Amino acid sequence: MFVRRIAVVGTGYVGLTTGACLASLGHRVVCADVDEAKVDRLSRGEVDILEPGLADLVSGGLASGRLSFVVGASAAVADAEVVFLCVPTPMGVGGIADLQAVESVVDETRDLLPSGCVIVNKSTVPVGTAVRTAELLRRDDVAVVSNPEFLREGSAVHDFLNPDRIVVGCDQQDAAERVAALYARLGAPTVLTDAASAELVKYAANCFLAMKLSYVNAVAELCERLGANITDVTEGMGYDKRIGQSFLSPGPGWGGSCLPKDTHAMLQAADAADFEFRLLRATIDTNERQRTRMVEKVRLAVTGKRGGSLSHVRLGLLGLTFKAGTDDLRDSPALAVAALLKQAGAELVGYDPALAGGTDLGSVSVVDDAYQAAKDVDALVVLTEWPDFRSLDWARLAETVRQPVVVDTRNILDPDVIRRAGFTCTSLGRP
């Protein structure tokens, strides 16, 4: 394997995982960030991100000398053969991805890039970004490649080192092959295509997953109306290899740092192309409705009637991050439901295994354990699928609450265990 000199600009989930993993594969990697304090911490092996295995990879890379951290993109690219852009591309006005960070790095490094270098867009970017990047570079001797990431928070290191596929897009075959070769040791299927197709792959994949989640939430509601059991329905569906088992768990809606912005960006791109993407729009609308539906389930469970008042009702929320295994709160469906509950007049206290008590979340008072969250509440509401909640002492919780009511919006609890502890239990799509 050829050892490459690689620069990674940005040390968020994608950038830090990319840099640490590429260093573990034997490449020499310099990671850059604008935050001096963060660079100092990373240089000491201190990783702020809750991501299994990442801290060990960073420490190993530092010890081997293959991984280092610097302040600013300019300091990282001087002798780089490949430069990965892993900067934020948040949702901008109208739903389109905001590319200011990408363009800023290109402006900063344009005259510093070595001849023959390859720029790689790793961030999720709209179709046409590779062309736009090349136009901004104004460098015929620097190729631009699209190499989308497919990392899940909570398993990013595993996903990088055990990929389902590697997608590389560029109109220059040599540049595409050079980037693909960086991953050669992983032995994954590789798709070499044009830049536009590579850029669209990421959006198309994430939008499909969002559709699958919205679909199963709709089926769960239908199960409730027809007296069917969503657990059995999805099990029967999942054995079909054309469908698969993943993304068939009902919940309070999808969120996080990717699906919301990617679905809106894809919808905006469709609108710009004069294509009415009704299926995707329905996917987004269904997700918004799901959050309201969770509030109505809480109303019914607490008051015994639809539309019952939640004014001055005290609720204990179990789980606040957007999913288990991460401390990320960005576009968390748990917080979206919490905001609606607060708007309805409820008093909220919450616990999450990844958050310290006293964390400022505005409408939710965050405490240090589930038993504190249960003290004198009218109902417990499970909003994130942390497995820790299954092993709680539910009999003890029953003695702590004001009303023994549980609304499990993730279907992670065993209803029989909960009921034996003295609770009434409401879940999704179950009789």
393 is in an annotated binding site: no
347 is in an annotated binding site: no
25 is in an annotated binding site: no
261 is in an annotated binding site: yes
150 is in an annotated binding site: yes
169 is in an annotated binding site: no
User: What's the chain look like in SS3?
Assistant: CCCCEEEEECCCHHHHHHHHHHHHCCCEEEEEECCHHHHHHHHCCCCCCCCCCHHHHHHHHHHHCCEEEEECCHHHHCCCCEEEECCCCCECHHHCECCHHHHHHHHHHCCCCCCCCEEEECCCCCCCHHHHHHHHHCCCCCEEEECCCCCCCCCHHHHHHCCCCEEEECCCHHHHHHHHHCCHHHCCCEEEECHHHHHHHHHHHHHHHHHHHHHHHHHHHHHHHHCCCHHHHHHHHHCCCCCCCCCCCCCCCCCCCCHHHHHHHHHHHHHHCCCCCHHHHHHHHHHHHHHHHHHHHHHHHHHCCCCCCCCCCEEEEECCCCCCCCCCCCCCHHHHHHHHHHHCCCEEEEECCCCCCCCECCCEEECCCHHHHHCCCCEEEECCCCHHHHHCCHHHHHHHCCCCEEEECCCCCCHHHHHHCCCEEECCCCC
256 is in an annotated binding site: no
The C-alpha torsion from 171 through 173 and 176 to 181, rounded to 10°, is: 170
251 is in an annotated binding site: yes
365 is in an annotated binding site: no
Active site positions, annotated: 258
151 is in an annotated binding site: yes
323 is in an annotated binding site: yes
135 is in an annotated binding site: no
Annotated binding site: 33, 38, 89, 124, 150-153, 202, 247-251, 255, 261, 323, 330
Residue numbers belonging to the annotated binding site for substrate: 150-153, 202, 247-251, 255, 323
Residue positions in the annotated binding site for NAD(+)?
33, 38, 89, 124, 153, 261, 330
